[in-house]
Chains A and B, each alone.
Chain A
């Protein structure tokens, strides 16, 4: 099972194993990772599962779709070139070891 690490703004890191094919958001919410809300259950409709993907882990991720792009304009914390919605990233074995930063706020 792929391993994911969520790094909080405080620097505290939470490492967890996700079922293959699950989304970053779902993995975080079902493991109670602070700061990942996932209000809309994965419809790219709420922008509350915003994460910053570390550049070294960006390769091989699915492209940002138009829907995700417009929701990323609605994040509460600043959007950067590393911004993604966790619900739109399906975690495969090839992403084992991915590290993402949790933003300072989601709502």
Chain B
């Protein structure tokens, strides 16, 4: 059967239907179907400021845009900073409850979460875990092994020895050519340490991951797209759904990019990731807030 990727499928389906299969006879990952998921990031629920006059309206618009996609994603993942931090534990939990209520509007089978430092650093992930479960975990989906790392619950931006040992044990249980996708909030590499855009012991995680040739990392935190390679590992950051941040080192302080009334929601958006496990390939499509 001829190979059709998801985009070809959608094009054909628009003309009256098509059979969708990515099975490649003889391929090591022949059983793995193509699929896609959506990454949303840095929603900062609870933020108030001129950087986003529609602070409470942006996430619902993005959710509506995801729900309007022509084919529902296999899952949606929020890569941290779900809420904007507050020192008041009661208010923190209120924001998490409100965020969770918003996310329930997503018309997908599964929604996954990871914490950002705004969610977890001030109480080492306590409130986050009450609402969203473990701060680091793994799951498998259609031939891809997903690893969620927590580099935020330690306020000093460390994974820590215990989590690194856990990662090492998990990787040792995977075949060398396993398709592995890592989610983290902060970059695992030193993107711009002068703005704290790094993970203090991230290099140790990258070294462990380097033993596998098919690894991709998706992260948030920096509120803009960035694409970087460490050896064979690609690292992709996603846009925010609250306010954009400036390019690394482009200005003295990392203050948010000002809201432009003539171009509302500029620099904000979410990402579609089409996974082709048989080819260990990931096609990224960046989407704006207000369109599906």
A binds B: no
Mark A residues whose CB is within 8 Å of B. Answer: none
